[in-house]
Amino acid sequence: MTAPFDRSLTGELAGDAPPEWSVSPQAGDEERVVESALRPHSLHDFIGQPKVARQLALVLEGAKRRGRTPDHVLLSGPPGLGKTSLALIIGSELGTAVKITSGPAIERSGDLAAMLSNLAPGDVLFIDEIHRIARPAEELLYMAMEDFRVDVVVGKGPGATAIPLEINPFTLVGATTRAGLLTGPLRDRFGFVGQMEFYEPAELQRVLARSAALLGVELTDEGSAEIAGRSRGTPRIANRLLRRVRDYAEVEADGRVTREVAEAALALYDVDHLGLDRLDREVLEALVGKFGGGPVGVATLAVAVGEEPHTVEEVCEPFLVRAGLLARTPRGRVATEAAWHHLGRPLPRGGIPLGRVTADPQVPGSSSEALFDA
């Protein structure tokens, strides 16, 4: 069975992406081509996020019945959970075009004004990473979102003139991984805000089953469960691991993705049963082995593993903290009891287990100082 978009997949070799990025939630340039082929095209086909999908369906249906454009939509949450897919689905459900851009690409207000003036009635404008939009462009967006009008400044200095320009009614869909960085005036102009949550393993198995059918991969339930359990609750990572396992199955096995094949493939790509990759384990090993479990600063920890502090802080730490393996404290990073167990190391004498924030008289050397941020 050959998928109609195999042309875009043939250039994507297993060795193109280093193993340490196998579980990164960020998408590479080539991966975006694959993602576009696997994305659902309607809310009915969209898997997961039941609350957001249900709320969004009501917003869109209500707008269609009134014959008006829907309220502006803000989607927030970690990368790889389907914000872009939902933005494209909004355009599909409304039967209108979707114009796509990103916050960092809009550097001047004139760029945004030109984009807004070219929108047809009812079009959807999708701005990814909207929290990174330039301030002058953001201020122009306020009037556009409320009154469907922008002021174009002609000339410079005392002779400059602001010419009001009417624009067609449109729906702005903004996506952000850091909702806290949005300014209050911009956030308040969105009529609907959807918070994307991490997926449960059962939901990821449904995502994998759909992707396997589109890719022409024979995937067993056991193989799907194995991949889903190592995907960090993120569909983008699940689809990426599925493609890597598919490569292994076609080259080293009979092409069928079973539990055994998935385990062997993911072991080859250094993704363990919790979803940790090589870099994650190096961070934990350095924290536990070289610094006795911490506390240690992120810059020192990054030097110990030969990476940039930004990489450790943005790529590794979010999942390690969410998995309960690492804690960010006022004094530095600390390995939890679960991290010691995961690495197969015995807890040091006087070690503080996960969650204990007061002194334990039964444990010598324990402290009453809080380890966790308030």
The residues that are catalytic are 83-84, 128, 177, 236
What single-letter amino acid sits at 91? G
Q: Are the CB atoms for 182 and 172 separated by under 8 Å?
A: no
C-alpha to C-alpha distance for 312 and 294, rounded to whole angstroms: 15
Strand partners for 149? 166
C-alpha to C-alpha distance for 182 and 101, rounded to whole angstroms: 17
Give the relative orientation of helices 235-252 and 259-268 as an angle to the nearest 10 degrees: 100
- Give the DSSP letter of residue 77: S
The two most distant CA atoms of the chain are separated, in Å, by 78
* Angle ∠(227,204,22) on CA atoms, nearest 5: 45
Strands 124-128 and 98-102: parallel
Length of the chain equals 374
C-alpha to C-alpha distance for 233 and 75, rounded to whole angstroms: 18
- Give the DSSP letter of residue 367: -
C-alpha to C-alpha distance for 336 and 285, rounded to whole angstroms: 12
What single-letter amino acid sits at 318? P
Q: Are the CB atoms for 328 and 317 separated by under 8 Å?
A: yes
What single-letter amino acid sits at 78? P
C-alpha to C-alpha distance for 312 and 277, rounded to whole angstroms: 13
